[in-house]
Amino acid sequence: MIAMKKIFLTSTLFLLIISCGENKSENRPIVENAVDNSESSISSIKNRKLYARESNMVEQIYAEIMKNNKNLQNLDRKFIQTTEESEKVTSQYDHIIYKNENYYNDAQQLTRTITDSILKKEIENEIKVSSEKYNLKIKRIKDLIVQVDKNRMKLNDQYTFFKVRKTLPEIEKYQKAHPLKTDSLENFIRKQNQLLIELKNLK
């Protein structure tokens, strides 16, 4: 029984090695393309944190296409710069607005501890008037911040759309350069079947 297991393992390993060798030679790239070179390109991109996943194939292929295209490089720089600037522009307003809104929330909570109902009602009204006045004052600012955020999402959508469309021809070129044939698989299955027959005939 042990001898049979050794024969089986040795034979299977030998066939797998042969099959792997055949697969490598059969599926070898015919021509250079952006997909084949894409893995090394992503490491050269500056400010890679803007890309959600470096392992994303679209980003890798697009990075390879950009390498020799000044127009695309300039476009990418503009997109990155605009994204960073949009965050900086809105953050300075967000910080100030947050502090004011946080103050009014804390003031309302603290007012609840006042036991004198007359004093409590008086200060609640003053807080309400001040808060409403401030909200009216910053309404235009909030609307503009919302617009900046919407535009940032639209830019991201449009650039993603462009990158996918730009890389689709490259993956199709890769498919043509790497035709997948059934020969190796069929040959290997025949070898497996032959080994199965031999094992079945063992006594």
Tens of pLDDT, residues 18-39 = 444 444 444 444 346 666 666 5
* Alpha helices, H only, the chain: 2-26, 34-41, 57-66, 70-111, 117-177, 183-201
* Boundaries of every domain in the chain: 69-179
Provide the pLDDT for residue 130. 98
Model pLDDT, residue 32: 60
Q: What's the confidence (pLDDT) of residue 118? A: 97
40 vs 62: CA distance, rounded Å: 12
Give the pLDDT of residue 171: 94
Task: Determine the pLDDT at residue 21.
Answer: 47
Q: What distance lies between CA 36 and its chain's CA centroid?
A: 20
pLDDT value for 4: 47
Residues of the chain scoring pLDDT < 70 = 1-54
C-alpha–C-alpha distance, residues 163 and 32, integer Å = 20
CB 173: neighbour CB atoms within 10 A? 15
Supply the pLDDT for residue 93: 95
- What pTM was computed for the model? 0.66
Burial label, 187 (beta-carbon count in 10 A; 0-12, 13-18, 19+): middle
What tokens were used for 60?
């890798």
The predicted pLDDT at position 10 comes to 46
